Amino acid sequence: MAIAPTAFLDPALLARISDFELLARTVVDGFMHGVHRSVRKGSSLDFAEHRAYQPGDDLRRVDWRLYARTDRYYVKQYEADTNVSVWFALDTSASMDFTTTTVTKFDYARFLIASLAWLSKQQGDKVGFVTMGADIGEVIPPSARHLQRILHTISRTAPSGKGELLATIDRLAHVTTRAGVVVVVSDCYEPADKLGRALDTMRARGHDVILFHPIDPGERELSFAAPLTIEDAESGVRLPLRPDDLRKQYRDAFAAHREALTKRLAAARADYVPLDTDQPLDRALHAYLDMRARRHPGR
């Protein structure tokens, strides 16, 4: 039975796929089938990528087939060289191992990074990967040949331990020697101002930065009904809780943290994209492409 391409972006379906190469290819093909293939054979300018349509663009370069699938206007671009170095940074702290649905925040993050790495490689980019827990763990420098290694590493990476996101972002800023794109995926259990200062360092070194924030629906709403005891995944501290007594206060605090992240990352000139883990990946893929088009309009 044929499945609609958008169904391939459903995290519940992706959770059934254990092969991360197959998963990444499935997501990208379902999102924009055939978008990144060369269409000018024999020419010195090959089809490179799409960017968001801007007023004044030649309408003859609008990809109308892509518009029919995505309901967005994209313009085809042709270049001899579109190479960019893209770092993907995955938060591996224990707090990422949480779900009230079918997919943990960590698995959603892995699905997303695998798909974006595949998409970036299809665009001719060099891709690298780093895990960010108590310290920088796995470090795979950007290369045109490292996609398979990255997918294999993602497939065997598990969340554990205490998060030290700020320190590892700072160290990553000094590991990256060539300005490019840095994609961070984290549940952002850090004060917004401190996180913003860490990303300021990235921006000061010339990187474009996009931070994806996977959010579990239960984490956002505190949807539990009965009294329970919760345990901090990183510290082990246990706390009895009556959700009905704290729900409004919790939701207000959570919304305030989101708002603070939005404002502080905007001040850092970094993109902030919150993502619900029960929703398809298309919003994240659109956000990534839009960021690339906005930061590199001539590409």
Coil/strand/helix, residue 218 = helix
Q: For every one of its 299 residues, what pLDDT tens digit does the chain have, with 9 covering 90 and above?
A: 333 345 557 888 888 888 899 999 888 887 865 344 433 333 333 445 666 777 766 677 788 877 787 788 877 765 434 578 999 999 999 999 999 999 999 999 999 999 999 989 888 899 999 998 766 678 899 999 999 999 999 999 999 877 677 877 887 887 777 789 999 999 998 899 999 998 998 898 889 999 999 999 989 888 777 777 777 777 777 878 787 888 889 899 999 999 999 999 999 999 999 999 999 898 899 889 888 877 665 44
Contact 243, 171 (CB under 8 A): no
pLDDT of residue 49: 63
Measuring CA to CA, how many Å separate 275 from each of 41, 44, 147, 247, 285? Answer: 39, 39, 24, 21, 11
Instruction: Determine the CATH number of domain 83-281.
Output: 3.40.50.410
pLDDT of residue 149: 96
Amino acid letter at 176?
A: T
pLDDT of residue 105: 97
> Distance (Å, rounded) from C-alpha 85 to C-alpha 279?
28
> Distance (Å, rounded) from C-alpha 87 to C-alpha 93?
19
3-state SS of 251-287 is HHHHHHHHHHHHHHHHHCCCEEEEEECCCCCHHHHHH
In the β-sheet with 126-132, what is the strand arrangement from edge to edge? 136-143, 126-132, 85-91, 181-185, 208-215, 271-276
Q: Residue for token digits 């780093």?
A: 130
Q: How many CB atoms lie within 10 A of CB 1?
A: 2
Helix 147-156 with 105-122: angle, nearest 10 deg = 170
User: How far is C-alpha 195 from the geometric centre of its chain's CA atoms?
Assistant: 16
Residues 6+ apart with CB under 8 A from 15: 102, 103, 107
pLDDT of residue 7: 54
- What is the value of pTM for the model shown? 0.79
Coil/strand/helix, residue 119 = helix
Going from N- to C-terminal start, the domains of the chain cover 35-82, 83-281
pLDDT of residue 6: 52
